[in-house]
Amino acid sequence: MDVDNSLQQEIRSHLARLRWYLTGLYRGGMEHWPARTEAADARRQARDDSPQPALPENPPQNPAAILSDIQQELGDCKRCRLHATRSRIVFGEGSPAARVVFVGEGPGYEEDQQGLPFVGRAGKLLDKMLRALGETRQDVYICNVVKCRPPNNRTPNNDEVEVCMPFLIRQIETIRPRVICALGACAAHNLLGVSKPVSQLRGKIHYWRGIPLVPTFHPAYLLRNPSQKSAAWQDLLEIQRLARSG
């Protein structure tokens, strides 16, 4: 009987996730950056107004074990064509209790070789930015929209994102950070369901299922456009503020 109940529960939860994913309800509300004193009110308001289903009231008891289960379920994934050209799956790295989750587009060459996210030149820049905030990659969680490297680092196709993204969603649901940072257009567009350029999305707090989401430039873009580093730094300071504001 217990086994039946737990199976039913699991099926119900899978169906709820699937329904939510298929109806594209991960689109976020959007607000201009509120002043410090207004941040909590703005978050509460956005949560109330959000068309997205709320996260379950109680956070998961053992996020590390759940992340490990998700990784096991992903297994030697061949759900999309990207499996054919990858060397390693890049699941994600960092603290299961992270206050900040960084989401990038997909693994590049170095990431594909090492099986770790953001370890190439762009990753070194991200590390530097984290250090400047007094954080390390062990304090945060870093992952991508797709977990296998697209050939020649092309942007992932919609069908590839569609099959891979439910795993990312479950990672974020499990970690339940105080703030999500979308690094670049691919992460921002797919988490928010919008298509504006990052330059128009950044500078505002968006919401993913009630969690503040701050879009900023991808570190690879910053390497090519160093003049945008100061804007990205402002975004990181905002992320730091949100992460500390409980």
- List residues binding ligand SF4 (CB under 6 A): 74, 77-80, 82-83, 89, 146-148, 160, 163-164
Choice between 77 and 231, CB closer to ligand SF4:
77
Nearer to ligand SF4, 168 or 179 (CB): 168
Comparing C-alpha atoms, which of 219, 170, 160, 165 is closest to residue 192?
165
Report the length, in residues, of the chain: 246
Angle between helices 185-192 and 158-175 (to 10 degrees): 80
- Shortest distance, CB of residue 128 to ligand SF4, whole angstroms? 28
Which CB, 171 or 216, lies closer to ligand SF4? 171
Name the minimum Å distance from CB 115 to ligand SF4.
12
Alpha helices in the chain (DSSP H): 2-22, 39-49, 63-74, 109-114, 121-132, 158-175, 185-192, 198-201, 219-224, 229-244
| CB 94 to ligand SF4: min, Å | 18
- Cα–Cα separations (whole angstroms), residue 215 to 101, 113, 202: 12, 27, 5
Pairing of strands 211-216, 179-183: parallel
Tell me the closest approach of the beta carbon of residue 72 to ligand SF4, in angstroms.
13
Q: Residue 114 CA to chain centroid, in angstroms?
A: 20
Task: State the nearest-atom distance from the C-beta of 110 to ligand SF4, in Å.
Answer: 17
- The CA distance from 78 to 76, in Å, is 7
Nearest approach, Cβ of 49 to ligand SF4 (angstroms)?
32
Q: Which is nearer to ligand SF4, 48 or 159 (CB)?
A: 159
Nearer to ligand SF4 among residue 33 and residue 91 (C-beta): 91
Comparing CB distances to ligand SF4, the nearer of 90 and 239 is 90
Q: Three-class SS of residue 153?
A: helix
